[in-house]
Amino acid sequence: MNTENTQAQAQAQETAMENVPATVQAAQGYDYSISTTGQKAVPAFTSLDVSTAQGKRTLYKITNRPDHNLSEFINKQIRVKDIYIDVNPRMNKDKDSENYGCMEDKPRTVLIDDNGKSYIAGVSIGVFQAVREIIRIFGTPDTWTEPLTVVPVTVKTPKGNMLSLEVV
């Protein structure tokens, strides 16, 4: 890999890491950075109560094997009770991007409804941005008096469609 590409990769990772912790830190006390390799810790956010064994089992289940893919629920209401976000490295496959072929950190978002069912949005930047706005405007789920009803929608972009959320 040439020096220019390495620098572009480092800049892309730094930018992604700057954006995600802003959401993580929006809910002080919910920063679960994970590192088992001695490398840079992976920022993660969850509103789940992971102080109990059951909470930890729920967290493991939704990160390892979510119940649903969010894209299968377009235009259907979901009553969100909890949120999980972490960062995963992904290869940039956009041939028009200057970072094509570089590994970039992308946020993975999982919504948990009031029945305990989980909906993974994968590395959807649109859903991540929508959740970041939800937290900014409505606060973190632990401050809500009732679940927040959202509807997954597709939004046209210059490069195609993007998954996002509407609040109803």
pLDDT for the residue numbered 135:
92
Q: Characterize 63-72 residue by residue with b for buried, 16 or more Cβ atoms within 10 angstroms of its Cβ, and e for exposed.
A: beebeeebee
Instruction: Evaluate if residue 109 carries a pLDDT over 80.
Output: yes
Per residue in 4-42, pLDDT (tens digit) is 544 544 454 444 444 443 444 333 333 434 443 445 555
- Tell me whether strands 78-91 and 148-157 are parallel, antiparallel or unpaired: antiparallel
Rounded CA separation 85/111 (Å) = 9
pTM of the model: 0.74
One-letter amino acid at 83 equals I
Instruction: Evaluate if residue 56 carries a pLDDT over 50.
Output: yes
Residue 75 contacts residue 153 (beta carbons within 8 Å): yes
> Which of 98-107, 110-119, 130-139, 159-168 has the least mean pLDDT?
98-107
Percent of the chain exceeding pLDDT 90 equals 52
